[in-house]
Amino acid sequence: MTSALHRAAHWHRPLMVFVSAMALLAVVSAVGIVADPRVLTGVPIWLKPFKFAVSFVLYGATLAWMLSLLPGRSRIAEWAGTVIVAMSVIEMVVIVGQVLRGTTSHYNETTPLNAALWQAMGASILVLFAAHFVIGIVVLRQPIADRVGGYAVGLGIGLSLLGMLAAIPMVAGRDTGIEGVAGAHSVGVPDGGPGLPLVGWSTTGGDLRIGHFVGLHALQALPILAILLSRFVGTRLDEHTRVRLLVVAGGAYGVLTMLLTWQALRGQPLLRPDALTLAAVAALVVATATAAGLVVARRRRPELALAA
């Protein structure tokens, strides 16, 4: 355990320092949730910093690990990782600063200062997206030796970009009808209404955070799937078959991200889908199961693959 932590500390230093800071902020925010009675948009005021801090711990640690897998050092990728840290720090400073001021950070244009802070956040997110995209290009240009792991990393980075794009409807063309509010998470209902525990996703209308969340965490989901495939079926399925299964899973994951965003844009709560949404989910499940079944049916036995 100690040696693993030591290796992790030497991945991408700025990212790992940021991860440590976010872990500390998560603890502070958790205390704030309990100790600070203030409520903002229907939830404890420290819940947003807590969720963002936890999310950045996962994002930063995963990205640093992925960079450590590259066969050769890439100054471009390292610089892109450092840019991501800088942009993330800007976002978290605004979020925590606005909590300390007792107001919202996202979509807040009620005063010139609030508008400037919100615009700074928006600009930092765009730069972060570009830096994340650059890392994706580097991963494509420097294939990882483990083909299954390489596909997992590439698909994870690509699908997390899709998750970032899923957030665009939160601000693009959204007229909330409330002066000084330049966007919203919810569709069909005001932000701050009844929501699911912890995540706060609306239970009365659509919520665009769901597709955004699912897409972003492809960064962890696909590598975890690759590890599970190698560990539990690695002796029965050759590398080529595991790669194909991973591609099937990645395609299904991307479609699921878009489906959840589509459901939200139609004003439907996650747990109250209509017949059309259920039909789309059923079609996705059948298509994914069929594709996975065909891949397994056409697999080569490991001993034959070695002989080839």
Q: Is-contact 29 50, C-beta < 8 A?
A: yes
- Angstrom CA distances, 12 to 16, 70, 108, 133, stand at 6, 12, 34, 17
Q: Are 157 and 132 in contact (CB under 8 A)?
A: yes
pLDDT interval class at 305 (50, 70, 90): very low
Per-residue pLDDT tens over the stretch 270-280: 999 999 999 99
Q: b/e string for 7-25 if b means 16 or more Cβ within 10 A?
A: eeeebbebbbebbebbeeb
Q: Which amino acid appears at position 305 of this protein?
A: A
CA–chain centroid gap for 228, Å, is 20
List pLDDT tens digits, range 98-134.
999 999 999 889 999 999 999 999 999 999 999 999 9
**DSSP at 109:** -
Residue 41, classed as helix, strand or coil, is: coil
What gap in Å lies between CA 136 and CA 12, rounded to an integer?
16
The alpha-helical segments, DSSP class H, found in the chain are 2-9, 13-35, 47-68, 75-101, 112-141, 147-165, 209-216, 218-233, 239-265, 275-297, 302-307
CATH 1.20.120 domain residues, the chain: 1-145
> Measured at the alpha carbon of residue 298, what is the angle toward residues 292 and 303, in degrees to the nearest 5?
120
Q: Determine the pLDDT at residue 308.
A: 47
Q: How confident is the model at residue 9 (pLDDT cuts 50, 70, 90)?
A: low
Mean pLDDT to the nearest integer, 50-67: 95
Among 21-25, 75-79, 296-300, the range with the most confident prediction by mean pLDDT is: 21-25
139-165 pLDDT, tens digit per residue, is 888 878 788 989 999 999 999 999 999
Please compute, for residue 82, the number of CA atoms within 13 A of its CA located in the half-sphere on the CB side. 7
- What dotted CATH number matches 1-145? 1.20.120
